[in-house]
């Protein structure tokens, strides 16, 4: 092989290695920043990973909100009308948070499959519902057996 071809082959090899490294680092960064959404039925079924930041959404179950008297700790349940998941949160809840409303909570599941939330998001008007929750509720409604 001629020296010019060896040099070109080495340059192409370096470019391929550089691109591969860049793509690998980009995918690794994305994988640590992606928060997947799980409806309560999938959390109860065990499809949601424990110890990984995820989002769980649904309707806040009536009479499930329990507030601690001496701190900002609160626990409540969300449902997709098939299953329910308990969410524990410490902090100020959004003004629009109410029982019977759709919310999305972000956090990590503990061993008891309860979500320890770091953020709770409530819907912002009467007509809006996060698309993931709407799809989950439609799927649950379609799968109901009468």
The C-alpha torsion from 24 through 29 and 35 to 36, rounded to 10°, is: 0
| Beta strands 115-122 and 84-90, pairing class | parallel
Instruction: Please list, in sequence order, all residues whose beta carbon lies within 8 angstroms of the beta carbon of residue 136, skipping any fewer than 6 positions away.
Output: 39, 41, 57, 58, 80
pLDDT at position 136: 81
Say if residue 81 carries a ligand binding annotation: no
* Cβ atoms 73, 67 nearer than 8 A: yes
> What is the spatial distance between Cα 21 and Cα 136, in angstroms, rounded to a whole number?
38
Residue extents of the structural domains in the chain: 1-29, 37-122
pLDDT at position 76: 95
Helix (H) / strand (E) element for 11: namely: helix 3-33
Instruction: Please list, in sequence order, all residues whose beta carbon lies within 8 angstroms of the beta carbon of residue 74, skipping any fewer than 6 positions away.
Output: 65, 66, 67, 68, 88, 89, 90, 93
pLDDT at position 141: 76
pLDDT at position 144: 67
CATH number of 37-122: 2.40.50.140
Say if residue 124 carries a ligand binding annotation: yes
Low-confidence ranges of the chain (pLDDT < 50): none
> What is the spatial distance between Cα 56 and Cα 72, in angstroms, rounded to a whole number?
21
pLDDT at position 146: 58
Helix/strand/coil for 36: strand
């Amino acid at each position: 092989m001629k020296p010019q071809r060896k040099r070109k082959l080495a340059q192409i090899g370096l470019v391929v290695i550089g691109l591969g490294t860049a793509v690998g680092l980009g995918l690794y960064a994305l994988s640590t920043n992606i928060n997947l959404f799980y409806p309560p039925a999938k959390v109860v079924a065990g499809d949601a990973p424990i110890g990984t930041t995820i989002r769980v959404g649904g309707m806040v179950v009536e009479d499930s909100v329990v507030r601690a008297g001496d701190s900002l700790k609160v626990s409540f349940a969300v449902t997709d009308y098939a299953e329910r998941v308990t969410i524990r949160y410490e902090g100020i809840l959004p003004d629009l948070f109410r029982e019977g409303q759709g919310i999305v909570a972000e956090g990590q599941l503990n061993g008891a499959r309860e979500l320890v939330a770091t953020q709770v998001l409530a819907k912002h008007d009467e007509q809006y519902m996060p698309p993931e929750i709407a799809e989950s509720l439609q799927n649950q409604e379609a799968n109901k057996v009468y």
